[in-house]
């Protein structure tokens, strides 16, 4: 074989680094998938007990609920809502927040039962919201009660 043909003979080509990064990306994607399935299917109590994830979830719930209550209060102040519907909306949002944070079925409980549960700190505000919602001659202001509700939600621990 002449020496001039040896320049056309080469060794095996190396693997491309794209395959390495594709494999790493797929492994990370599968790990994220399993974590997502765990978080979405775990009981809420189990998520609350996880240190970082439970705290992040609680903070997210506080912010979302406080923003919703503030929006309802602003709609009442602007005249879009009257006192009774504003009180009902704030009560509904507060009860949903209490159920998400404490696990107490606050959406379906009487105020007296809530006062005897883990959500007892919210009972005075729920009494005021009930008065606004069902007493058309109430002296309470729905805007003031919505501010107090927002403050309670933001300070909930």
- Mean per-residue pLDDT for 126-138? 93
Angle at 88 between CA 81 and CA 118, to 5 degrees: 145
In this predicted structure, the answer to whether residue 42 has a pLDDT above a threshold of 90 is no
pLDDT band at 40 (very low <50, low <70, confident <90, very high): confident
Residue 4's pLDDT band (boundaries 50, 70, 90)? confident
* Residue 89 CA: distances (Å) to CA of 7, 38, 58: 82, 33, 21
**Contact between residue 154 and residue 142 where contact means Cβ atoms under 8 Å apart:** no
Q: Tell which residue, 99, 101, 128, has the closest CA to residue 114.
A: 99
Question: In this predicted model, what pLDDT tens digit does every residue of 61-93 receive, in sequence order?
Answer: 899 999 999 999 999 999 999 999 999 999 999
Task: Say what the pTM is.
Answer: 0.71
The pLDDT, as a whole number, for residue 71 is 96
What is the per-residue pLDDT for 67?
96
pLDDT at 48: 63
Question: Would you say residue 108 has pLDDT above 70?
Answer: yes
């Amino acid at each position: 074989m002449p020496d001039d043909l040896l320049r056309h003979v080469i060794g095996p080509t190396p693997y491309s680094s794209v395959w390495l990064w594709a494999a790493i990306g797929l492994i990370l994607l599968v790990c994220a998938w399993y974590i997502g399935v765990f978080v979405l299917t775990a009981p809420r109590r189990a998520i609350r007990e996880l240190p970082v994830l439970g705290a992040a979830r609680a903070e997210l719930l506080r912010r979302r609920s406080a923003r919703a209550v503030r929006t309802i209060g602003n709609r009442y102040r602007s005249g879009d809502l009257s006192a009774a519907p504003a009180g009902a909306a704030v009560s509904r949002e507060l009860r949903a927040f209490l159920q998400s944070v404490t696990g107490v079925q606050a959406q379906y409980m009487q105020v007296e039962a809530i006062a005897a549960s883990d959500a007892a700190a919210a009972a005075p505000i729920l009494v005021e919201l009930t008065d606004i919602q069902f007493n058309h001659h109430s002296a309470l202001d729905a805007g003031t009660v919505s501010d107090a509700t927002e403050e309670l939600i933001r300070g909930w621990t």
